Amino acid sequence: MKNWMTILARRYEEARRQYPNDKLMVLFDIDGTILDMRYMMLYVLRAFDREHATAHFAELDVEELNIHENQLADFLERRGLPAAERERLAAWYEKNRWAPSAVMESHRPFQGVLEVIRWFQIQPQTYVGLNTGRPEFLRTDTLRSLNALAEEYRVEFASELLFMNPSSWDHDIVQAKVAGVRRFEAEGFRVVAFIDNEPANLKAVAEADPEHKILLLHADTLFESHPRFIPERSVSGREYALSSLVTERQLPRHVQFIWQGVNDGANLRQFLASNITWGEVDVRQDPAAQRLLVDCEGFSESSGPGREDAAYFEEHLSAFQRQGKSLLIDLHDPACLDGVIDALERCGIAEDRLCFKAEPPRLEERGIRLLAAAFPRAGLQCSVDFLVPMFQASPEQAEKFLRRLSGWGVNRFGVGWPFARQRGLLERIRAWGYRVAVEEVPDLEAFLQATLLLPDAIASDFNFPQWCYYGQGTGQRRYRYEVAGGVRGHLL
């Protein structure tokens, strides 16, 4: 059977094709679908222990909580707690599970779900709605806690896209789910899919949708109603994986994708045959032959100049030119600056198809300014991972560094994965008016997560067998600022 996220992607695409101008909506339940309720249970049970100086749950692991959040009584009985204590606990649990502190501190999303939501939220004319059995009085707490969890994924939930149960707790939930679908439809949204962990809710929505307009997805987590209610046409799944949801042709078009480490013949062939436009090559001077080598490893006995598989920059350049590819050049040695500039001018490659790595310890101010003057319309990118601690501690100082580099001609800043995920980092650099590249992205899932950050460029080895890309980079960072102080020395 096909993966549920793949089926969702296909249904969404069909709807987009059929209704190009409609507001499409993917509708999610919250508890047990977006949120893993076991963490809430663990939090409330531990709070009981703390408050009553007991130790019933000191050793309890979240994995052992394989019960729906409404079925605590059975669980306590299985753990052999005496009846009186079970009653005391049940009362505590009921009183505290929806307390604002529990809602804020204990709720956790399932892995990947917020990325999936973000993916839909960045698609044009596409909305993510929430359809929950929680009662209205929890609206403010619900939005506040979900948005706190969602912030680092750039996801935002708006009140007008949240439908709550108009009755009180645990009443008429099934009817409320149908009412939620109808409300959004009445407001002009075309509901493409509805995701819920409760079989009974899916059944009710299935019955209200005899024409099968809505794809029903069953989040196969922990649920209360009987599995026999799962409609035949619904699809179950447990993992929210972007790599099952997103295909290559759905990638955002304005992001530059860069294939790193296009140095050896095998990688060059893979890259040239791919749909990826930008390739990164590492260039060094071959001191013996007085030629420019494409090589990231540096010279040693086994990989030194004159070896049989040595690749030369000019040959790489012609291959790029023939295939209409664009070139990001990482100059490892200021001694090759003149040679690279000459070679590029000779071959006449358009400047907008060129970019250079401008790493101050290698090229120094003079080299960076030279490249900027020789190719004013080319990209000039500097990695700023060494500034990451400063972005937190002293943003004014960090901005000063960037301004100085920008004065030399740098026009894009690179941030390595996973620094790029740090809250607010990319946003801050962009708010200062600079373009950003996310570098060293290790695999397809991370690559897709990086696209959700909407940077200007993403660089990766493209070892994505799922997409038939077999980049052979080392998967390791090619270059680090070993002594951050030394780098700052170049800048001040």
Site residues (CB under 5 A) for Mg ion?
Answer: 29, 31-32, 197
The two tokens of residue 30 are 């919250």
For residue 110, the 8-state DSSP code is: P
Closer residue to Mg ion in complex, CB, 170/338? 170
Decide whether 31 or 333 has the Cβ nearer to Mg ion. Answer: 31
DSSP letters along 34-102, please? Answer: TB-HHHHHHHHHHHHHHHHT--TTTT--GGG--S-TT-HHHHHHHTT--HHHHHHHHHHHHHHTTSHHH
Closest CA to 370 of 413, 336, 403: 336
Residue 457: strand pairing partners: 256, 437
Nearer to Mg ion by Cβ, of 157 and 417: the residue is 157
At closest approach, how far in Å is the CB of 35 from Mg ion?
Answer: 8
Residue whose CB is less far from Mg ion, 8 or 219: 219
Question: Can you tell me which residue has the tokens 């403010």?
Answer: 140
In sequence order, which ranges of 409-469 are alpha helices (DSSP H)? 425-431, 444-452
Instruction: Give the nearest distance from C-beta 133 to Mg ion in angstroms.
Output: 7
Tell me the one-letter amino acid at 329.
I
DSSP string over 136-161: GGGHHHHHHHHHHHHGGGT----GGG
* Residue with smaller CB distance to Mg ion, 102 or 448: 102
Shortest distance in whole angstroms from residue 223 CB to Mg ion? 7
CB of 37 to Mg ion, least distance (A): 8
- Please count the residues of the chain: 492
29 or 359, CB closer to Mg ion? Answer: 29
Smallest distance from the beta carbon of 389 to Mg ion, in angstroms? 41
CB nearer to Mg ion: give 143 or 310: 143
* Sequential DSSP letters for 178-204: HHHHHHHHHTTEEEEEEEES-HHHHHH
Q: Tell me how far, at minimum, the Cβ of 34 lies from Mg ion, in Å.
A: 9
Nearest residue to the partner Mg ion, using Cβ: 32
Q: At its nearest, how many Å lie between Mg ion and the CB of residue 32?
A: 4
CA distance 40 to 313: 58
All residues at 6 or more sequence positions from 215 whose CB lies less than 8 Å from its CB, including other chains:
7, 8, 11, 192, 193, 194, 235
**Is 32 or 379 the residue whose CB approaches Mg ion more closely?**
32
- Please choose, from the candidates 99, 106, 109, 92, the residue with its C-alpha nearest in 3D space to the C-alpha of residue 39: 106
**Shortest reach from residue 178's CB to Mg ion, in Å:** 15
Which amino acid makes up residue 486? G
- State CA 276 to chain mean position distance: 20
C-beta closer to Mg ion: residue 31 or 461 = 31
Query: Closest approach of Cβ 213 to Mg ion, in Å?
Result: 22
